[in-house]
Amino acid sequence: MLETFGLTVRYGSLTAVAGVDLRLPDGEVLALLGPSGCGKSTLLRAVAGLEPGGAGRVCWDGADLAKAPVHRRGFGLVFQDGQLFPHRDVAGNIAFGLRMAGVRPTERASRVDELLELVGLSGHGDRKVTELSGGEQQRVALARALAPHPRLLLLDEPLTALDRTLRDQLAVELAELLRKTGSTAIVVTHDHDEAFTLADRIAIMREGRIVQTGSPEDVWRAPADEWVARFLGCTVILPATVAGGAARCAVGEVPTDAPPGGAWVGLRPAALRAAPDGPVRGRVAGRVHRRDRVRLTVRLDEPAGEVDTVDAVSGIAGAPRAGDAVRLRLDPDGAAVLTTYR
C-alpha cells in the first residue's frame, strides 16, 4: 500500500505539489486527473523518487522511502512518449529491468515473450524500437515497466501522445491489462475519458492540491465544487433545492443522495436534449456539428435566474437550425449535483 503524507515539491517560488496526502491500497488503479500545470506529473515523479527537492513522506506498507533511491523502489514508470532505449531492440527494452535484477537469460527470454503476448506484440521482439508506431512504442514501454513485477506502476499521460481513435482503443486495452495483472497503479492524465476508463478511483488535482477523490461515478455526479464541476464539463450551473432524493432546478430534476436543502445543478451540454415534448422552451442561437450529434446554443424563453443561454445537444437528423424554436428535456446522466459551490 502506498501512502503519502504532506508531499510537497517546490521549484523556486513555485509550489508544484502542495502537501498531498494520498492512500492507495494494493490492486487499486488511481487516476490523477487535472488540467496541465496542476502538478500531477510532479506528484507522480515525487512518488517515483525523481524529485529530490521534495518535502513530506512517501511510504510503502508503512516504511518511509525517503532513503530508498529510485532504483531500489520497485516502482515502474511509463512516460508519455515511451522513452524506449533507442540502442536496444524491443526485447532488449523489455528485458532491461530483468537484467538489472540479475534474472537469468533463459528466464528473461520467457518473461519477455510472456509480456510481448500480454501487450499484443508477439513476435516483435527483434524489431528496432525506432521502427515502431507510437501505439506500439507505448505497448513496449508498458511491457518494459511491467517486466520486473513492479510493486507499483506509475503511468505519466501514457496515451496522450497518440491520436484519438488509437487512444480510445488503447485505454480499454490498458484498463483490462491492469486488472488482469492485478497491478497497483497511478495514472496521470488530463483526459476525462482516459481517467474514467482506467481508474477505480479518481483524484482531481488543482494547483498542487487534491481537491476531490472518489469513484468515477461519484466524481462525475457529485463534483466537490464549482471548479471541479466546470473542469468535468459543466458549462452552466443553476441554483437548486434538494428534497425527496432529487435536486430541482429551473430546467428539471436530477436524482441525488445529497441531504435536503440548498444545492446547485451543473449542466453539461449533453444534459439538455432537444425533444418535441420537452418542458424547457427556447430558440437556437448557434449550432455546431460534432461527430455523432449536433451541439446547440439555446437562448431560453424564460431565463433561469441570471442564466439565459444554455448548451444542448440534438440528434443529427432533423436537428433544428439557427433561429428555430426548440424544446429541451433534462437528461440526469449529463448533470451533476453540487452541495458546495466554493
Partner 1 sequence: MAWAGPGLSSRGRAGWGLVALALLPVAFLAIFFAWPVVAIIGLGFGEGAVLRTLGTGEVWRIAGFTVGQALASTALALLAGLPVAFLLARCRLPGLGVVRTLVLVPFVLPTVVVGLAFRVLLPDAQVGAIVLANAFFNVAVVARTVGGLWAHLDRRAEDAARSLGASRWRAFTSVQLPALLPAISSAAAVVFLFCSTSFGVVLILGGARYRTLETEIYLRTTELLDLPGAAAMSLLQLAAVLAALAAGAAGRRRRETALRLRSRTETARRPAGGEWWVLAAAFGVLTLLLTPIVALLGRSVSTADGWGLAGYRALLTRGADGTLQVSGLDAALNSLRTAGDATVLAMIVGTLASVVLVGLRRGAIARPVAETLDAALMLPLGVSAVTVGFGYLVTLHALPGDLRTSPLLVPFAQALVVTPLIVRIVLPVLRSVDERLRQAAATLGAGPVRVWREVDLALAWRAFLAAAGFGYVVALGEFGATSFLARPEAPTLPVAVAELLARPGELNNQLAYAVCALLMLLTAAVVTVVDRLRTPGLGEF
- Which residues of this protein are in contact with partner 1, per CB under 8 A? 11-12, 48-50, 52-53, 63-77, 79, 83, 85-87, 96-97, 100-101, 144-145, 148-149, 151, 154
Please identify, using beta-carbon distances, which residue of 76 and 278 lies nearer to partner 1. 76
Please identify, using beta-carbon distances, which residue of 98 and 198 lies nearer to partner 1. 98
Q: Which residue has the cell 420537452?
A: 278
Task: Report in angstroms how near the CB of residue 30 gets to partner 1 at its nearest.
Answer: 18
Task: Report in angstroms how near the CB of residue 85 gets to partner 1 at its nearest.
Answer: 7
Q: Can you read off the three cell numbers belonging to residue 314? A: 440534438
Task: Report in angstroms how near the CB of residue 227 gets to partner 1 at its nearest.
Answer: 30
Task: Report in angstroms how near the CB of residue 80 gets to partner 1 at its nearest.
Answer: 9
Please identify, using beta-carbon distances, which residue of 53 and 279 lies nearer to partner 1. 53
Please identify, using beta-carbon distances, which residue of 111 and 273 lies nearer to partner 1. 111
Please identify, using beta-carbon distances, which residue of 154 and 199 lies nearer to partner 1. 154
Task: Report in angstroms how near the CB of residue 122 gets to partner 1 at its nearest.
Answer: 22
Instruction: Residue 40: name the closest of 154, 173, 189 by CA.
Output: 189
User: How many residues belong to the chain?
Assistant: 342
Q: Can you read off the three cell numbers belonging to residue 190? A: 488530463
Residues 6+ apart with CB under 8 A from 290: none
At 301, the amino acid letter reads: D
State how far the Cα of 184 lies from the Cα of 153, in Å rounded to an integer: 6
Question: For 320, which DSSP code?
Answer: P
Task: Report in angstroms how near the CB of residue 14 gets to partner 1 at its nearest.
Answer: 11
Please identify, using beta-carbon distances, which residue of 109 and 246 lies nearer to partner 1. 109
Q: Which segments within the chain are labelled E, that is strand?
A: 2-11, 14-24, 29-33, 55-60, 63-64, 75-78, 152-156, 185-189, 201-206, 209-214, 236-243, 246-249, 252-255, 261-267, 272-274, 280-289, 294-304, 307-314, 325-330, 335-338
